[in-house]
Amino acid sequence: MSAPKAWGGRFGESAGRLVEEFTSSISFDKRLWRYDILGSIAHARMLANTGIIAEEEAAAIIEGLKTVWNEIEEGKFEFRTEYEDIHLNIERRLIELIGPVGGKLHAARSRNDQVSLDVHMFVKDEIDEVIGLIRDLQATIVSLASSHMGVVMPGFTHTQRAQPVLFSNHMMAYFWMFQRDIERLSDCRKRADRSPLGACALAGTTFPIDPKQTAEELGFAHIYENGIDAVSDRDYIMEFLFALTLVAVHLSRLAGEIVLWSSVEFGFIELDDAVATGSSIMPQKKNPDVAELVRGKTGRVLGDLVNVITMMKGLPLAYNSDMQEDKEPLFDAVDTVKKCLGAIQLTVSTMKVKKEAMERACEQGFLLATELADYLTRKGVPFREAHRAVGSLVKQCIESGKELRDVTVDDLRSANPEFGEDALLCLDPSRAVKLRTGRLGTSPEVVRAQIEEARRLLAGQDNLTH
Ligand code: ARG
């Protein structure tokens, strides 16, 4: 049968193998070992400073914990299912190493505040990493946008060609989405920056602990106000998962466009061979797998969010074992989003922009119809009437197989007599783009201003995270 339990005093027989395996979380929570040891070192120091244990005892515990740290780092530590989770695995080894004094570490603490502490620390660090990766992607977007400033492409609504826009403006749209993702993550980090230590199981302790000291040593800005809350909630995890889901959704939309644009039908970009694969049957194929998988993985991340929210709803306060189920989705979501960020960064930084194809696409599909309607409006024709006149012109063109660039002044005049010779100037996509100088317009000057602001934000990146 299995090894004696840390909590075995109350129990007659040891648990069967099936139950041990079912309840154990060590296979996944071992990933939290660094935070667990750092938390324990801070706790041991606090126990000595407050006189709860002796200085020499704390020193022995801290020495022992450092040995455990080295053992894990060197791959020499044996993680055992029968010791349930990372907390008990480490404590068990500590006692093996330094003897019964190791058992003094868990005074004035419970695994309930301990696990919550570990995950708070994990979330803070991961937020910093994700923000760093988003920054790298944003920097790539900015350099792509600034090196392709003159490129005009069709902008789309309903996946139908709508109006010409600057390719740079289209790409910068993603910069701002990711910027809001960073803001959301930074905001979520503020709420994760709160130490639950001191709550113990839920009711606090009779020992004269100093939660402020442990919080400060571990780099927390705050401590929880309420111990029951501290061990009960996982809102900082759900919030992080939601922020990650939005990052995944933004990545998915970008990836989806990359898939479309790299098709022969669009031909707007050419992917580097490094981010494409071939077909096992069709020799001609170059498939945009990396982008497709980024798009496809969004469902996992949303699933992870739904998983944790559903698990949490309806749980009575305070700790419940259900909450052990928070870790795998958390780890999965953060790993997935980090991988996707790296994959899209590689895709975007190596893709070739096909300027001619984008510009050619602006010549078909009546993208400049709005320019003609605006021309009439400037001549005093009510916009609705102008809209109708240009609509009927487009209809005639479709019937006679013409594009707008083929129309004559006579064609225009027969649609509405207010059209003059100068109306033909409207039929230049670059001109249409250049004239959109209002804020939120797509002119080069507006896009240049965005790029400048984006560079300013990228340069000041450190202020944002903390
Ligand atoms: N492995 C547990 C978890 O991940 C740690 C806390 C366990 N507490 C307890 N009383 N069983 O949530």
- Residue 111 Cβ contacting ligand 1 at under 6 Å: yes
Q: Does 3 have pLDDT greater than 90? A: no
Confidence of residue 15 (pLDDT cuts 50, 70, 90): low
Tell me how far apart the alpha carbons of residues 300 and 50 are, in angstroms, rounded to a whole number. Answer: 46
Question: Is residue 279 among the annotated active site residues?
Answer: yes
- Residue with the nearest Cα to atom 3 of ligand 1? 324
Collapse the DSSP code of 199 into the 3-class scheme (helix H, G, I; strand E, B; otherwise coil) and give the result. coil
Q: Quick one: fold of 14-107?
A: Fumarase C; Chain B, domain 1 (1.10.275)
* Side chain identity, residue 153: M
pLDDT given for residue 401 in this prediction: 93
Mutate to test the pocket of ligand 1, among 81, 83, 85, 122 (most ligand atoms within 8 A of CB): 85
Average pLDDT over residues 181-210: 98
CATH class, 369-427 region: mainly alpha
Confidence of residue 331 (pLDDT cuts 50, 70, 90): very high
Average pLDDT over residues 293-299: 98
79 Cα to the center of ligand 1, angstroms: 16
On the CB side of 57, how many CA atoms lie within 13 Å of its CA? 20
Look at strands 160-166 and 152-157 and give their pairing. Answer: antiparallel
197 Cα to the center of ligand 1, angstroms: 14
pLDDT given for residue 466 in this prediction: 46
Residue 145 dihedral angles phi and psi, to the nearest 5°: -65, -40
Instruction: Give residue limits of the domains in the chain.
Output: 14-107, 112-207+218-360, 369-427
pLDDT 10s digits, 67-123: 999 999 999 999 999 999 999 999 999 999 999 999 999 999 999 999 999 999 999
Q: How many residues does the chain have?
A: 466
Residue 334 dihedral angles phi and psi, to the nearest 5°: -70, -40
Q: What is the percent of the chain where pLDDT is above 90?
A: 92
Q: Does 9 have pLDDT greater than 80? A: no
Quote the mean pLDDT of the chain. Answer: 95
DSSP 222: E
pLDDT 10s digits, 229-266: 999 999 999 999 999 999 999 999 999 999 999 999 99
Residues 6+ apart with CB under 8 A from 214: 39, 42, 43, 45, 46, 195, 197, 198
- Residue 25 Cβ contacting ligand 1 at under 6 Å: yes
- Residue with the nearest Cα to atom 2 of ligand 1? 324
pLDDT given for residue 440 in this prediction: 96
CATH code for 112-207+218-360?
Answer: 1.20.200.10
pLDDT given for residue 1 in this prediction: 47
Q: Does 342 have pLDDT greater than 60? A: yes
Residues 6+ apart with CB under 8 A from 225: none
Judge if the upstream peptide bond of residue 318 is cis by omega within 30 degrees of 0: yes
Whether residue 339 contacts residue 252, with contact meaning beta carbons closer than 8 Å, is answered with no
Q: What is the pTM of this model?
A: 0.94
Tell me how far apart the alpha carbons of residues 262 and 270 are, in angstroms, rounded to a whole number. Answer: 6
pLDDT given for residue 280 in this prediction: 83
CA angle 250, 255, 256 (to 5 degrees): 100
Q: Which of 3-17, 86-100, 320-334 has the lowest mean pLDDT?
A: 3-17
Q: Does 223 have pLDDT greater than 50? A: yes
- Residue 179 Cβ contacting ligand 1 at under 6 Å: no
pLDDT given for residue 4 in this prediction: 77
Q: Which of 13-27, 112-126, 139-153, 376-390 has the lowest mean pLDDT?
A: 13-27
Helices (H), 103-210: 111-147, 167-192
pLDDT 10s digits, 378-395: 999 999 999 999 999 999
Tell me how far apart the alpha carbons of residues 19 and 5 are, in angstroms, rounded to a whole number. Answer: 13
Tell me how far apart the alpha carbons of residues 226 and 203 are, in angstroms, rounded to a whole number. Answer: 9
Nearest in space to 189 (alpha carbons), one of 260, 141, 237: 237
Whether residue 353 contacts residue 272, with contact meaning beta carbons closer than 8 Å, is answered with no
- Residue 323 Cβ contacting ligand 1 at under 6 Å: yes
Q: Does 364 have pLDDT greater than 70? A: yes
Q: 161 burial class (0-12, 13-18, 19+ CB within 10 angstroms)?
A: middle
Q: 128 burial class (0-12, 13-18, 19+ CB within 10 angstroms)?
A: middle
pLDDT given for residue 443 in this prediction: 95
pLDDT 10s digits, 432-445: 999 999 999 999 99
CB neighbour burial string for 390-414, b if at least 16 within 10 angstroms, e if fewer: beebbeebeeeeeebeebeeebbee
CB atoms within 10 A of CB 59: 13
pLDDT given for residue 232 in this prediction: 98
332 Cα to the center of ligand 1, angstroms: 19
Which of the residues 27, 147, 279, 400 is marked catalytic? 279
Average pLDDT over residues 362-376: 94
Q: Beta partners for 157?
A: 160
Give the dihedral sign, CA 105/110/116/120.
negative
Question: Is residue 222 among the annotated active site residues?
Answer: no
